[in-house]
């Protein structure tokens, strides 16, 4: 496969694009065409909003290999027994009925000169604007002893679906008094509180089903998102069950052996029954193939999520390097709506409004014990910059924690309706 | 209507009289629909569709000035101008419950 890359041509044009993006005339064909790669919180939202708001003036194609999308958010609640796997699965039928051309295939290449995307199935699709929202892939060799061929013995469960079901099955099959290990990822990664909500949900399951079991977390970081809230929650609800080993105590020196089912932390070998390896992350592969990444992520302009490399290629969500927003489904959904407004404006001349972004991450610690962290953001010349924020406090009342959990349930219903229609 | 404001809280007639820009309201509303469902369904987060202008505008100003609790709503409302709140009220009023 030959891929033409225009690494350097796009940058000045991208800088000049700014607010007054020139209207792109779709020459030689009918309607302007938007191709979206990746049907998660960023891509599904962008496709849906462009189709809905352009009222059929723009052809929108969404390329997503999965026919059923399992949200990574709330997949920990499935592990904890608060959700069924069906509760976090979503199909694309409503998006298709809403005018999005949904193609279930893998995008395997982008030719930015010809402005086409090639698919594993052999087709080539032309675009005027390309939106990439491929989530994350794992950095090879990030955890010594682990690679994708080991993901059945030691699941990551950080792309939801079959991996989540596998990890749940392994959790349920743990021997009495057994050991659950997690290798946590280095920054930056998808869903900063995610590994620690997972620890909470695994602890919840074990407390009810296998109360003498232990959880070991090897973490390459000295601290983590909502740390005080989680540590308070673990002490209050799962006393003595969770052993978190941060980088100050050797948590950054980890290797695993999937055949022997051992984890070695700072030279000490431990036999484990389940090992959840969450490796270091990078932008989804197609962003790299499109030549819009710089290092692990794709730098973007905050004003519209266009890449620094090419003003006609946008990157949303986890894969983007945008500034202060955490990599989360909420962030991707927020960025998608700013991007959709800008792309529609560029293609049809519709009004482009100022970018506004927001994010909230809810986490469940135990039954009816929810916490949250959130912020609002704005676009500056340099990045998406934080404006204002909040975080739940330690020692909150049970009533407030219950209300926070119920709010997260409402958010899940809201964002999935916003993504999939 | 869920979550009524404290009785002492009200906004000026001038603010209530602002005419909202529907198209801008539709764009701004996309920030709300991450949590509040556009079809008016409510489970855990209240419906905000089909509200009359006065309670809608008053509620957002109450969050903006921290007269109503909920940290998410407080930071969202905090950066909204009077015109933006009017635009949102105008838009959500057009959506059916």
Interchain contact, B37 vs A414, CB within 8 Å: yes
Spans of chain A, pLDDT less than 50: 1-26
Residues of A in contact with B42 (CB under 8 A): 410
Quote the tokens at residue B19: 């005419």
The mean predicted confidence, pLDDT, of chain A is: 94
Q: How far is CA B66 from the centre of its chain?
A: 14
Give whole-number Cα distances, A336 to A144, A225, A308, in Å: 36, 24, 17
Q: Which of B67, B71, B35 is nearest to A374 (CA)?
A: B71
Give A-chain residues touching B38 at CB under 8 angstroms.
417-418
Confidence of residue B96 (pLDDT cuts 50, 70, 90): confident
Residue among A376, A409, A410 minimizing CB distance to B76:
A376
Assign A395 to helix, strand or coil: coil
Task: Tell me what percent of chain B is helix, strand and coil, each rounded to the nearest 5.
Answer: 50, 0, 50
Class of domain B13-94: mainly alpha
pLDDT tens string A223-268: 999 999 999 999 999 999 999 999 999 999 999 999 999 999 999 9
Angle at the Cα of B86 (from B80 to B92), degrees rounded to 5?
105
Using a CB-CB cut-off of 8 Å, the residues of chain B touching A389 are 75
Mean pLDDT over the full length of chain B: 93
The size of chain B, in residues, is 97
Q: Measured between CA atoms, how close is A195 to chain B, in angstroms?
A: 23
Token pair in block for residue A65: 């290999």
Per-residue b/e over B39-56, b at no fewer than 16 CB within 10 Å?
Answer: eeebebbebbbebebeeb
Range of weakest confidence among A112-121, A249-258, B3-12, B57-66: B3-12
Beta bridge partners of A275: A181
Cα A325 to Cα A398: distance, rounded to the nearest angstrom: 29
**Residues of chain A contacting B, Cβ within 8 Å:** 49, 53, 330, 333-334, 337, 341, 351, 353, 356, 358, 360, 372, 374-376, 378, 387-390, 406-411, 413-415, 417-418
Contact A363/A369 with Cβ under 8 angstroms? no
Instruction: Check B43 against A334: CB less than 8 A apart.
Output: no
pLDDT of residue A19: 44
Question: What's the burial of A212, exposed, middle or buried (CB within 10 Å: 0-12/13-18/19+)?
Answer: exposed
Size of interface A-B (CB pairs under 8 A): 82
Mean pLDDT of B81-92: 98
State which residue of chain B sits closest to A334, comparing Cα positions: B31
Could you tell me how far CA B7 lies from the centroid of its own chain? Answer: 18
Q: Please, are residues A361 and A192 in contact by the beta-carbon 8 Å criterion?
A: yes
At residue B78, the pLDDT reads 96
3-state secondary structure of A180: strand
Confirm whether the ipTM is greater than 0.95: no
Residue A410 is nearest to which of B23, B33, B44, comparing CB atoms?
B44
- Position B43 scores a pLDDT of 86
Q: Identify the helix (H) or strand (E) that includes residue A182.
A: strand A179-183
Q: How does pLDDT run across A323-342, given as a tens digit for each residue?
A: 999 999 999 999 999 999 99
Query: Tell me, what's the pLDDT at A5?
Result: 39
Residue A364 DSSP one-character state: E
Question: Which residue segments constitute the domains of chain A, with CATH numbers given?
Answer: 10-137+281-350 (3.50.50.60), 143-277 (3.50.50.60)
A27-A29-A34-A36 Cα dihedral, nearest 10 degrees: -130
- Kindly determine whether residue B75 and residue A407, on different chains, have CB atoms separated by under 8 Å: no
pLDDT confidence of residue B97: 72
Query: What residues of chain A lie within 8 A of the CB of B35, using their CB?
Result: 410-411, 414-415
A418 and B33 in contact by Cβ < 8 A?
Answer: yes
pLDDT for the residue numbered B4: 55
Distance CA B48, CA B59 (A): 11
């Amino acid at each position: 496969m030959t891929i033409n890359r225009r690494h350097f041509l796009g940058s000045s044009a991208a800088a000049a694009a700014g607010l007054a993006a020139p209207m792109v005339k779709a020459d030689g064909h009918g309607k302007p065409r938007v191709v979206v790669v990746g049907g998660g919180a960023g891509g599904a939202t962008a496709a849906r909003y462009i189709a809905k708001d352009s009222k059929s003036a723009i052809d929108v194609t969404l390329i997503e290999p999965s026919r059923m999308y399992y949200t990574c958010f709330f997949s920990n609640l499935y592990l904890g027994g608060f959700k069924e796997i069906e509760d976090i699965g979503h199909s694309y039928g409503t998006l298709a009925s809403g005018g999005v051309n949904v193609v279930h295939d893998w995008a395997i290449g982008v030719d930015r000169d010809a402005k086409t995307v090639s698919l594993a199935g052999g087709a080539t699709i032309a675009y005027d604007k390309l939106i990439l929202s491929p989530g994350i892939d794992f950095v090879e060799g990030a955890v010594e002893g682990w690679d994708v061929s080991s993901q059945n013995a030691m699941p990551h469960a950080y792309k939801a679906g079959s991996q989540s079901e596998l990890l749940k099955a392994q959790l349920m099959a743990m021997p009495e008094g057994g050991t659950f290990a997690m290798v946590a990822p280095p920054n930056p990664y998808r869903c900063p509180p995610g590994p620690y909500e997972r620890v909470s949900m695994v602890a919840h399951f074990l407390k009810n089903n296998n109360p003498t079991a232990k959880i070991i977390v090897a973490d390459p970081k000295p601290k983590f998102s909502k740390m005080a809230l989680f540590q308070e929650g673990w002490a209050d609800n799962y006393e003595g069950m969770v052993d978190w080993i941060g980088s100050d105590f050797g948590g950054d020196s980890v290797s695993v052996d999937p055949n022997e089912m051992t984890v070695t932390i700072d030279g000490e070998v431990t036999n484990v029954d389940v090992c959840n390896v969450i490796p270091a992350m990078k932008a989804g592969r197609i962003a790299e193939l499109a030549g819009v990444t710089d290092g692990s992520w794709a730098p973007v302009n905050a004003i519209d999520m266009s890449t620094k490399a090419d003003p006609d290629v946008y990157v949303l969500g986890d894969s983007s390097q945008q500034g202060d927003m955490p990599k989360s489904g909420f962030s991707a959904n927020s960025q998608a709506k700013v991007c959709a407004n800008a792309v529609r404006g560029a293609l049809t001349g519709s009004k482009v409004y100022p970018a506004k972004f927001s994010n909230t991450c809810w986490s469940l610690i135990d039954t009816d014990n929810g916490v949250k962290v959130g912020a609002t953001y704005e676009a500056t010349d340099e990045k998406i910059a934080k404006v204002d924020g909040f975080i739940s406090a330690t020692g909150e009342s049970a009533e407030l924690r219950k209300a926070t959990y119920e709010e997260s349930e409402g958010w899940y219903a809201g964002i999935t309706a916003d993504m999939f229609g | 209507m869920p979550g009524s404001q404290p009785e002492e809280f009200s906004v000026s007639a001038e603010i209530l009289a602002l005419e909202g820009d529907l198209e801008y309201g539709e764009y701004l509303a996309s920030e709300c629909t991450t949590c509040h469902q556009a079809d008016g369904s409510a489970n855990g987060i209240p419906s905000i569709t089909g509200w009359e202008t006065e309670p809608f505008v008053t509620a957002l100003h109450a969050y903006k000035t921290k007269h109503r609790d909920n940290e998410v709503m407080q930071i969202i409302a905090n950066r909204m101008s009077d015109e933006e709140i009017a635009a949102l009220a105008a838009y959500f009023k057009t959506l059916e419950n």
